[in-house]
Amino acid sequence: MKLNKDEYFSDDCVVQDDLYISIKELIICPLCNKIYKEPYMCLDCQSVYCKRCLENYSNLKKCPKDGKNNKFVNCITKNDLISKLKYRCKNCLKEVIQADIKSHLEEKCKHSEKIGKEKTLAEIIKTKKELIILSQAEMEDKEIDNSITSKNVLYNIN
């Protein structure tokens, strides 16, 4: 089963660590406001855009910034920065650097199959956490039977 990279590693999965914070302004496309996907640089004004954004804007013929008929080249330096970002896998919650995402999905993701009714392990954990927090808030003022344990609560959530 081949997993879709964009499904498990989207921009909202980027780990907000020191690296990301320090380079954020250098890796965001001014047209789509997302992390560059195939960054291309205008040779005249050195503006950088996603390849897809440029194709949608001008078919790679005109620069959105200066409006001139310019030449664009793949911006390898931006790709190098982006490849070092950490992402949190939506499927198994492991932090993976961008350069290793493909191998993580193909070989290493321990929970590569969907669980139950199209829910990933991460979604199940999030749901259980929300229910436990809700249960704790509801039970704060109530006397609880001593036989109730956190293990019972987890098993009864399903």
Tokens representing residue 38 in the block: 């195939």
pLDDT at position 135 is 57
Residue 75 shares a structural domain with residue 102: yes
Is residue 43 included in any domain, yes or no? yes
pLDDT at position 28 is 92
Does residue 51 contact residue 40 with C-beta atoms inside 8 Å? yes
Task: Output the CA torsion 122→128→134→136 (10° steps).
Answer: -120
Cα end-to-end span (Å), the chain:
26
Number of structural domains (the chain) is 2
Alpha-helical regions (H) of the chain: 5-8, 18-23, 51-58, 76-83, 101-103, 121-139, 150-157
Residue 55 shares a structural domain with residue 104: yes
Is residue 114 included in any domain, yes or no? no
Spell out, as residue ranges, where the chain has pLDDT lower than 70: 1-8, 58-60, 110-158
Predicted TM-score of the model (pTM)? 0.60
Is residue 115 included in any domain, yes or no? no
* Residue 67 domain boundaries: 5-108
Is residue 113 included in any domain, yes or no? no
Residue 18 shares a structural domain with residue 53: yes
